[in-house]
Structures are given as C-alpha cells and as structure tokens.
Amino acid sequence: MSRFFTESLKALQPYVPGEQPQDMQYIKLNTNESPFPASPKAVAAITGEEVSRLYLYSDPDCKALIAAIAKRYGLQPEQVTVGNGSDEVLWFALRAFCDENTPLAYNDITYGCYKTWCSMLNVPSKILPLQEDYSVDLSLYRGLDSTIMITNPNAPTGLCLTVQEIEGVLQENPDHVVIVDEAYVDFGGESCVSLIDKYENLLVVQTCSKSRSLAGARLGFAMGNAALISDLNRIKFSFNPYNVNRLTCLAGIAAMEDEEYFQTCTRTVAQTREKTAAALKTMGFTLTDSKANFLFAESSRIPGGVLYRKLKEKGILVRHFDKPRLENRLRITVGSQQQMEALLTALKELGA
C-alpha cells in the first residue's frame, strides 16, 4: 500500500472472490454462477437502439425496473429499491442501519464480505457461532441489540432457516433491523417476502446473479417496509444515484417478466443438485442438506485442500476455504448436467 493510505484501514482484509484464472479453459464450479444463459427476453431487450442511447444517463429512480420487481413479488413500488448487485444494496443497508454504537450480528461461517464491510464502516461485529453441524443456534438471536444479518440459505453451507424461524428472530428483536440475504433462496428455500407487510424491521435482499442468470449485469434489489426502503434510497442518492445502468435495467425488467424461464432454470438446477448429491454420497462424501445452487461436500479419503488442487489440475475449479471448520470441505457450484458428470468422473479418477 502507499504511504497515503488512510491509517484507519491499514488492517483491512479485503473479501476474496472466487478465482477467475485465464491460463486455461476450466469447468467453473467455484463462483455460483448459473449454468444457463440469461433469459432470451432479457437479451432481446438490449437492442441496438437502446445501446445507441448509452450517452444518456439511466433513470436514477429505476421506475420501470422497480415496478416490474414489485409486481413479481406482490409489493408496492415504494417497498423496493435496486442496486449494482446485491452487494451494493447490502452495503447501503449497513451504512443506514449500523454505526459505531449499533453492531452487525452475523454467523461465524457465512459471507466473508460482512466482516470486511464492518471494518470499512467502523461497525462492530457481533459473531454468532454456528453449531457443529453448521446449523443456526436460534437461542443466540434473542434481544441482540444489534442489526442482524441472516443469510438464507447460508453460504457456504447451503442450509436454510424456515420462515417461521426467521419470524421468531423478528419478534425477538423488534427495535432492530433484520436483514435476510436471500441470494440463493430460489433454489429450494422459502422467501421471507411474505412477512414484509407484517414486520417493519424486515429487509429482504435478493440478486439477479444466480437464479436469473445476470451475474455480469450486476443487479440486486431490496424489499421491505417503505420507510426502510426510503432509508436505503437516502444513502443511494447521497452516494451514487445512477447506480444501475440503462442496459441492466432493461435486462432486469425482461428477466422479471419471464417467469417460465426462471422456473425452468431454477427447477433444473435443484434437480441436478439432488442427483449430484446422491452420487457424491454413494462415493462416501459427507454433505449438508443444501438448498442453494451449490453443494458443500467433504471427502472421506482426500483432504479438502488437496482435492481442490487436484481438481484444478484436471481443469475443474471448485471453492476451498482454508479456515477452521471448513478446511476439509469444498463448495461446488451446481453446473450443467454435463459439467457435473465431468466432476464426478474426475473425483472417481482421483479416488475421492
């Protein structure tokens, strides 16, 4: 770092995303992208005429996009806001609902970015340890006096809480915002959107990167009480009012409206996940009951780090976390059926 870097951030440990090597052609099962292209309707929405308008700013209010999301989820437009990926929306939420005196509570095993953001924003972290089987200990969520982050399904475990369990957290913490990060909910979890009109302290955040195949477009959105959304917009318009570009808005609207394609893709991923999980169990792997678009697996024969490296040598990328309680596990994105068959073949060849 340079000698000009601010002293308060010198200890910052940036979040490390899944690797994107360029040295050879890999089967990428490490970043939880969709194995399917974007909806044909989303692609068709980006016409040459629309591209020719790139010299104009996008609509800062994203009215048409927000209307499409609100309609899809049975909400009012004032209950929705959008961002440059769900990361930006979550950042807005931390900036709005946390500070030096209001910590963020989250699990010890979850997205690493929460810890990084807290460090950047000078927000204290309140770490809630998962149980030995990676399940959530709900008794730790009573009267936390903190903003609460629940990743559901969790990453990298893929495990879910029920809507009823999350409702209990909302009831136990009525004076603090409960953020539910539902990046993977469309693959087998149950969304908490149904609770929005019942609880003023609930903020649900989703992304179009996974279930709607728009990872490269960068589009996320938050849904909640209109007052909470107003708070997020206050942050957004103080920081980056044109945060969603013109073409992403168009693709997002079309993707929201293409319900048939969405259902087909998510259903296929879930089916492929279950089929692959069954095959891995037959081979002796231990897995969590993932409801996401990835598997969290441990070989009974080869340590996780070794297996990760051996698969990479065979041209297959998976995610390995060299951390306590995770070092023998691999997070494996559910790709196409062909990709998963290639993975299984490679694992058998390696004696995993």
Question: Considering 257, 291, 318, which residue would you say is the last residue of a domain?
Answer: 257
The neighbour count for residue 33, using CB atoms within 10 Å, is 17
Whether residue 11 is contained in a domain is answered as no
Whether residue 28 is contained in a domain is answered as yes
**288 in the same domain as 141:** no
Using alpha carbons, select from 103, 97, 107, 130 the residue that is nearest to residue 119.
103
Question: Considering 257, 273, 296, which residue would you say is the last residue of a domain?
Answer: 257
Residue 201, domain CATH: 3.40.640.10
Handedness of CA 122, 99, 160, 336 (dihedral sign): negative
Distances in Å between the Cα of 154 and the Cα atoms of 66, 89, 129, 249 are 26, 18, 13, 28
Residue 324, domain CATH: 3.90.1150.10
Q: Which domain holds residue 342?
A: 18-37+260-350
Using alpha carbons, select from 80, 98, 67 the residue that is nearest to residue 203.
80
**136 in the same domain as 30:** no
Q: How many domains does the chain contain in total?
A: 2
**237 in the same domain as 220:** yes
Q: Coil, strand, or helix at residue 28?
A: strand
Per-residue model confidence (pLDDT) at position 255: 98
Q: Coil, strand, or helix at residue 126?
A: strand
Whether residue 81 is contained in a domain is answered as yes
What DSSP character marks residue 84?
A: S
Tokens (6 digits) for 233: 């917009």
Per-residue model confidence (pLDDT) at position 15: 74
Per-residue model confidence (pLDDT) at position 23: 63
Per-residue model confidence (pLDDT) at position 3: 85
Per-residue model confidence (pLDDT) at position 13: 80
Per-residue model confidence (pLDDT) at position 123: 97
Write out residues in the chain with pLDDT < 70, as ranges: 22-24
Per-residue model confidence (pLDDT) at position 24: 60
Q: Which helix or strand (DSSP H or E) is residue 269 part of?
A: helix 259-282
- Partners of 128 in the beta sheet? 107
Per-residue model confidence (pLDDT) at position 6: 87
The residue whose two tokens read 């570009």 is 245
**233 in the same domain as 289:** no
CA pair distance 101, 118, nearest whole angstrom: 12
What DSSP character marks residue 30?
A: S
pLDDT in tens, 174-233: 999 999 999 999 999 999 999 999 999 999 999 999 999 999 999 999 999 999 999 999
**179 in the same domain as 71:** yes
Question: Considering 226, 257, 288, which residue would you say is the last residue of a domain?
Answer: 257
